[in-house]
Chain A
Amino acid sequence: MADVITAIGMVADPFHLLCLVFGVGVGIMFGAMPGLSVNMGLALLLPLAFAFKGMAGILMLLGIYCGAIYGGSISAILLKTPGTPASVATTLDGYPMAVKLRQPGRALGLSTTASAFGGIFSTICLIISAPLLAKISLQFSKPEYFALAVFGLSIITSVSSGNVIKGIMGGILGLFLATVGIDAMSGAVRFTADTTYLLGGVSFIPILIGVFALAQMLQSVEDCWQKSQIRQHVSIDNVLPTVADLKRVFTTLIRSSAIGTFIGCIPGTGGDIASFVAYDQAKRWSKHSANFGNGEPEGVAAPEAGNNAVSGGAFIPVLTLGIPGDGATAIMMGALMVQGLQPGPLLFIDKAPDVYAIFIGLLLANIIMACMGYSLIRLFVKLTNVPNAILLPVILLMTFVGTYSYGNSMNDVYVMVVSGILGYVLNKLKFSMSAVIIGIILGGMAEQNFVGSLIMSDGNPSIFFTRPICLFFLAAAAVSLIAPLMMKKKA
């Protein structure tokens, strides 16, 4: 108990709180801008974090981490452009709610609430059950990762609101794009057409920006001409979600946060997978599943709760095992170590106050993030009232600048432009770009763990069917795929 009080004292210092607020603000900005990633933000402010002695630097980094995952939803909802890969699923219902239903404030309010809920839920899980969840995460070996990837891929059927076959084709295309480059499992160089650029694989972020931001911009150009600016002035009365909305999304929030926490605690998986799985599960279990894709509140709350719940979950392997779950947590682990906190099994014993300070920091970061989000919603909604003649050229330039900032390469920009043009055409043909993106995100995980499992089992495929967790996810994937078809037959 004394440790907790020390921890509160550590965090309540005004300078530390300022660092936290600063971090959350920077995080939201980095998250909202496509092309700027949370890793970039952390790497840039790391020297600053080292300069601040004590918890201040760590609190700042925690703020960036939580804020960035939330920030991506802002551009996802308003511009159909995910600011981070974790917000792709938010575009599916967030953008229709903002544009078709003309309720951008409601969408942003739901997203902020869901993000804060997810973050706080996962932090509580971290505090209560970190060792237990860590034990479960250690059970995951290559077959389990493969099964999880297959489960993730089965989401393609629920995300392709148009034609399921076209969704699958898009997914296969994405999976193929993920194979381009040096195959880390065999060392072979595949499908690079002898270019150096493709040796590192197809650049994911430029394609993401292209098929979402640029394609949407081209679509807006087309819509602009047809409707000639029938953009009514959108007014917002409520920034906080209504009680009716909250009742509607409550179970979704719990379910999505649990999914996010679990996926977060498995090393190597992140907010992108969590948000898709959360969206998919919300759709399957919802009473309003037919409304998904048309601005359903559960469709906005689910992915946002899922991806922010990863923030607490990802700290579980870091703090209990000393194993970072992804790039962002690896950077933060480095920062923790420089401050003298050695993450791992000994941390809770040796440095309990600091650990509690991290917990409190995470909770506060989510609360501050929510406050900032709510207070800025009116400002963000004003963005939608900006005339298209100004908004669209700005978006266009931002796609270029964002893509270039990512890798400092004009090749990335060309990839972005080509993806944008293809995305525009494929959208017309009712292909789902989310399916392609899911394929690219999960392609590496699926293939590498498939091949790896067979290496470990000497080529024996029964390894997939004799391990309980692996079997569970494969079965869940099969159920996911077959159930909708069964439902259709009934109706």
Chain B
Amino acid sequence: MKRIFAVLMMTAMLLGMVGCSGGADKKAAYPADGDITVIIPKAPGGGTDTSARGLISFLQKELKGSKFVPVNKPDGGGITGMVELAKAKPDGHTLGMVTVELAMFPHQGKATVTNKDFVSVCAPIAAPAALIVPKEAPYNSLDEFVKYAKGNAGKIQMGNSGTGAIWHIAALNFEKEFGVQFKHVPYPKGSADIAAALAGKHIDATLADPSVFKSQIDAGTLKILAVMADTRSEFYPNAPTFKELGHPMAIRAWAALVAPKDTPKEKMEVLRKAAEKVCNSKEFKDYFKKQGIDPTAIVGDACDKMMADDDAMYARFLKK
């Protein structure tokens, strides 16, 4: 009896879940005329993945009748997914996420796709690099930090998320701009490990996305000295931007929802208009802010420009 009950319950659960996922109506106007696949070139559950899924759930609510289907393609370091997106049929039913790696990899010889293969919808996140140090560190501002670094060349251990990855490039940029030298310590598993290392005082500083460090900064074990962005962060209003301090550096880890470059303009307009509304809506902002992420509303042409600007910057910096 228990057995039959258990089987019935499982079948009911399965059927219930199947019923919940409705289909799309083929005769309706775009985007309701079929499923829209969104290729996410990262593993499920990571930062890019959760942000992407959040964005498309909001877009789906805004565009009545549409159905966005996220598909994770993490192999090849994410490059396979981006290549597949570039080659996909430009009918508006295949979109994808690309990250700042799109601007970096071509200049490191790791990929051949560039931002020119895509046309963007919007970028919901663009995390700036922030200089974060332990509370007891003997420097309390960017200038003090630079002075200390100049006097201790090669001694400050600067954590990053991998050699050749974005935060390492940010640190190299910093070295060039200020004329200092760090010891770069890679933490390939990601920013959470850097947070643990800083909290345990195994390294001296990091330039990384501040959202992972938020709990520690709020509790006071870490302090944030400056942010590489154009405007101050809402979460850390006391941290000046590099721009304010006279060094207009802006290195961001962005993720953007894009389509293959030949997608028809009308369909892109539909998506961009919806994205404009979504990115400026309160629920969207709350969703990200509650997770400690500063959401951005870079839509359409502004997003294309950001991708192109970053591509040019990394071309200059990496082709040395």
Contacts and interface: CB of A to CB of B under 8 A. Distances in A.
A184 B164 CA distance: 8
A344 B216 contact: yes
A289 interface: no
Given A330-B45, A342-B218, A323 B3 contact: no
A165 interface: no
Given A47-B57, A196-B79, A267-B193, A322 B163 contact: no
Interface stretch (B6-14, B115-123, B268-276): B6-14
Contact of A344 (B7, B157, B219): B219
Contact of B13 (A25, A317, A344): A25
B296 interface: no
Interface string B193-204: 101110110110
Contacts of A345: 215-216, 219, 221
Contacts, number: 184
A337 B192 CA distance: 15
Interface in A29-72: 29, 37, 39-40, 42-44, 46-47, 50
A197 B53 contact: no
B183 interface: yes
A252 B218 CA distance: 41
Contact of B77 (A139, A199, A325, A458): A199
Interface string A176-211: 000001111111010000001111110100000000
B106 interface: no
Interface residues of A, number: 72
Contacts of A43: 44-45, 49-50, 53
Given A200-B75, A322-B215, A141 B197 contact: yes
A411 B195 CA distance: 35
A444 B193 CA distance: 14
Contact of B189 (A268, A331, A340, A376): A268
Interface stretch (B142-150, B244-252, B259-267, B284-292): B284-292
Contact of A337 (B76, B77, B203, B290): B290
Interface in B43-94: 43-46, 49-50, 53, 57, 71-80, 83
A28 to B, nearest CB: 10
A201 B2 CA distance: 46
Nearest to A189: B110
A325 B189 CA distance: 11
Contacts of B2: 375, 378
Nearest to A378: B3
Contacts of B162: 182, 184-185, 187
B73 A408 contact: yes
A131 interface: no
A101 interface: no
A409 B10 CA distance: 29
Interface string B166-186: 001000000000000001111
Given A42-B45, A141-B197, A345-B221, A379 B73 contact: no
A46 B287 CA distance: 12
In which size bucket is the chain B interface?
35 or more
B199 A321 contact: yes
Nearest to A447: B188
Given A185-B163, A187-B164, A344-B215, A39 B43 contact: yes
A197 B81 CA distance: 10
A327 B45 contact: yes
A312 to B, nearest CB: 19
A137 B200 CA distance: 9
Interface in A289-344: 317, 321-325, 327-328, 330-331, 334, 337-340, 342-344
A189 B53 CA distance: 31
Contacts of B197: 141
A338 B109 CA distance: 39
A345 B157 CA distance: 25
A452 interface: yes
B81 to A, nearest CB: 9
Given A185-B163, A199-B77, A267-B193, A39 B45 contact: yes
A343 B185 CA distance: 26
B74 A182 contact: no
Given A182-B77, A408-B73, A196 B83 contact: yes
B6 A330 contact: no
Given A200-B78, A346-B218, A456 B157 contact: yes
Interface of A: 22, 25-26, 29, 37, 39-40, 42-44, 46-47, 50, 137-142, 181-187, 189, 196-201, 203, 267-268, 317, 321-325, 327-328, 330-331, 334, 337-340, 342-346, 372, 375-376, 378-379, 407-409, 411-412, 444, 448, 452, 455-456, 458
Given A196-B83, A455-B183, 18 more contacts: A43-B45, A46-B50, A138-B199, A139-B200, A182-B110, A185-B163, A187-B108, A200-B80, A267-B193, A268-B192, A268-B196, A322-B216, A323-B196, A323-B215, A345-B219, A407-B74, A409-B73, A456-B157
